[in-house]
Structure 1
Amino acid sequence: MARPRTPKGRCLRTHEELKTEYPDAECELDYKNAFQLLAATILSAQATDVSVNKATPDLFKRFPNPEELSVANVEEVETYINSIGLFRGKAKNLVGMAQRLVEEFDGQVPESMGDLVSLPGVGRKTANVVRSVALGLPGLPVDTHVGRLARRLAITEENDPVKIELALNPMLPAQERGEFSLRVILHGRRVCFARKPNCDECALNYFCPSAFTL
């Protein structure tokens, strides 16, 4: 198979190859609705999905909706998430996020990027996760894996997550951006490690400019 020669070509080929590698890729955070995914994604910053999934069942049992979380005592919220890094700041953000949902959005998770990033603890990555996974809207979450692989594959030279997102967006069909991100993240976790990537087992090694060089 011919090697793609442009950044867009490498992006689309990556998308196609990883569809085959990870046909059932899905978000690894446990959630039942957009509110729960929003809260879980806030908690996942600088933490593993596994650690978040251990904490959220009891958290969501105690605070099942924005209305109840909005009137919670921050110190009580901390007791449910103290196994997660930066839990004090995250507890404050969770309560603040719920208050904003109740006060400004009738207790519903908003759809627009502008509204989402106005919530405490929510940046573009979190907003894109919620948009693409829970709301069925275009969104391309950029984490360390997406950034690393995009640079190794010479899709972009950018380091800033927002600039990476804006570079990748026009290369992909809008409704498939979230799927692309999920699969790239899985590939980064399982094959294209930050140190000593497993190029021998990589489905992208025949066109990746960085293959067998790191």
Structure 2
Amino acid sequence: MKIVLFGATGDVGTATLHEALKRGHTVTAIARNIHKLADVPDSVTRESVDVLAKPHRVAELMASHDVAVSALRPISGSESLLVEMSKVLLDAARQTKAPIYLTGGAATLKLADESGHTVLTAPDFLPDAVRPIAEACAKQDALFDQYEDVQWTCLRPPAMLIEGPLTGQYVRGTDTLIPDHDGVARISFADFGYAMVDLIETGNGGQQRLTVGYQNRAAA
């Protein structure tokens, strides 16, 4: 499968890239700064694209690949750009009819305590430092409802994305955080990338919001 990966140099993008290559897929890695792609394997096609400045190039790339993946995250202080970048990608997917898989955020996921609160609305759940990106992710999530004619999948991480080994073991859910044995919803970057490639290989042809996490891992 030919995959174009936007945001290939971040933690999620890097994990997704390596997992896709391990499974034999052909990947085109996209980043704003081409120099950040210097260490990717030689088999990977590299290209520098500012998605906001060159939406036409985004559409061209999607048209020449089987599937698009977004692991885009704006820099600190520019969190609101996430919605604009996602819109460019979704518009290109609409134009080209390409399936697109986007990394979302945990903001709109419900807590597992049946309180009815989400990650974003629960009192004292989010540190102030991450509230701007959480709010941007909530707006990104709302954007998907405008694209009922696009084959999109949004994979939302749990409350904590952490450094850790690839296990290939995770639980998939929809709108609620998946807590581990200690009540904390978490997954490693490596396993999040693994889960993303699982979704790409499965396909669905529609629209879906999903999440993943570890569950009862200590008892396994």
Using the size of structure 1 for normalisation, the TM-score is 0.30
- Which structure has more helix as a fraction of its residues? 1
Larger Rg: 1
